[in-house]
Amino acid sequence: MARLYENVDQDQLQRDADDSLLHYGTSFHPEVIVHAEGRTIVGSSGLRMLDWTSGQMSTLIGHGNPEIVETIHSHAKNLDHLFSGMLSPPVISLAKRLTSLTPPGLDKAFFLSTGGESNEAAIRLAKFYTGKFEIVGLAASWHGVTGTAIGAQYHAGRAGYGPNMPGNFALPTPNAYRSIFRHPDGSYDWRTELDYGFDLIDKQSCGSLAALILEPILSSGGMLVLPPGYLKAVKEHCERRGMLLIIDEAQTGIGRAGDMFAFQHFAEDEGVVPDVLTLSKTLGNGLPLSAVVTSDRIAEFAKENHFLFYTTHINDPLPASVGDKVLEIVVRDNLVQRSRELGQKFQKRLQTIKSRYGCIGDIRGRGLMAGLEIVADRETKIGDPELGAAVGTKMTELGLWAQLSTMPSFGGVFRLAPPLTTTDEELETALKIIEDALASTPGTKPLYSVTERTVSTPQVEARL
């Protein structure tokens, strides 16, 4: 059967794009994408690329998943969109399934469209519940570009648009690779850093601290993994100040990082449950779907006091049906375990590649979520985004889309997130492309001899 856009005029499409599309913060990919299926996307020139960003970190179980396609088709035909005060079976089913997977204390949910919208709602809920207005975020955070969400976002997007929401403060980014907070032995002293950050916030606050919002792995910040015990320490800080803890799992949730929810990973954080959890991206597998999940206590307060967050597409049945099917598939097919097991191989092999190229300063992440940081010098840790861009271009030419970090603020960090349905063969193919791109791009500082390069990566891994 012919593809939907099998025969297109790429040059004309590019001209039409230049004539009619408003830019919004990133340069457009040089290829117009005409097909996406499984773990592969296809450009109008015929270039096929393994998609290692899962679209916008969203297509958790691959493009065009047949069960998702059937779910969309049946609900588009029978139950697509309703008045916002009406309920439907897929919304109720998704809420029931989702809250059966979250720990006690995350008991009730509603559903929106984007991650920024869900964080907007979560912060609004926290302000309403606490009666306070000050919001704390991490200094490399990304929570969305709507008014309240971007007030708590510090990675990019704050300058040039007039005043942000009042009462926003930043904690130091917990970056084990770059932080200046160190123990005498040189190891990362995140606890002193965190305490110091809260001390500064206390000095700036007018006494109205409402919530802290953070990601368990700061993806846009450079795939920075919160240290073991960090969430427990943060929760204690919040409780002492009467603040809520909001955890944003737009990219880490639903198995991406090797656990159903990434905040559950470390034994040192056992028992920590956020007051509000937000989900998006992975929940909809590419469709616009997000969730706000909170406790019975907060939900009851919101109901009794008439909390308002009323949107056109709140609790829409069609996207809810997709989210419900995504959760069904993830649980049924043991994809969280798959992410954990394949992720161990993925992370180990990336470390092997790091040992072969001096331009790789750090590898970090968990599960099928990894960051690869390109630097000019390992000693100084000075970033090299230009080299990163060159390596990314070469990867694309070789058939791997892995360069989500196209904005200068991302600093040459590759954020890798293959779908959970990635096969072992596809993993090997993509890892070989990464190494081939590094080998063929000037300036990557190879650390091996010419003869070693001819040995296959698995054999090299065994030797190392």
Catalytic annotation present for 425: no
Candidates 52, 142, 190, 401; catalytic one: 142
Q: What is the CA radius of gyration of the chain?
A: 22
- Tell me if residue 397 is catalytic: no
Among 61, 63, 60, 33, residue whose Cα is nearest residue 48 = 33
Q: Is 14 a catalytic residue?
A: no
> Active site includes 248?
yes
**Please, which residues bridge with residue 277 across strands?**
247, 293
Among 190, 201, 111, which residue's Cα sits nearest to residue 152?
201
- The single residue of 215, 249, 316, 373 carrying the catalytic annotation is 215
Give the integer Cα–Cα distance in Å for 218 and 28. Answer: 24
H helical segments located in 102-243: 115-130, 147-151, 190-204, 230-240
Given 256, 281, 354, 366, the catalytic residue: 281
Q: Are 136 and 210 in contact (CB under 8 A)?
A: no
Please give the Cα distance from 414 to 396 (Å, whole number): 13
Q: Could you tell me which of 288, 232, 282, 289 has the C-alpha nearest to residue 257? A: 282
Bridge partner list, 364: 371
CB atoms inside a 10 Å sphere around CB 47: 16
Query: Residue 435 in contact with residue 356, Cβ under 8 Å?
Result: yes
Catalytic site includes residue 215:
yes
Q: Which residue among 108, 134, 153, 251 is the active-site one?
A: 251
Contact 272, 95 (CB under 8 A): no
Taken in order 418, 423, 429, 435, the sign of the CA dihedral is positive
Q: Which of 120, 248, 259, 324 is catalytic?
A: 248
Q: What single string gives the DSSP state of each residue in 327-338?
A: HHHHHHTTHHHH
CA atoms of 215 and 118, how far apart (whole Å): 14
Q: Are 421 and 62 in contact (CB under 8 A)?
A: yes
120 as an active site residue: the answer is no
Separation of CA 232 from chain center? 21
- 15 contacts 21 by C-beta, under 8 angstroms: no
User: For residues 371 and 350, what is the distance between their CA atoms, to the nearest angstrom?
Assistant: 9
Which residue blocks in 207-364 are alpha helix, DSSP H? 230-240, 296-304, 317-332, 335-354
CA distances from 167 to 148, 163, 170 (A): 11, 11, 10
- Return the active site residues: 142, 215, 248, 251, 281, 415
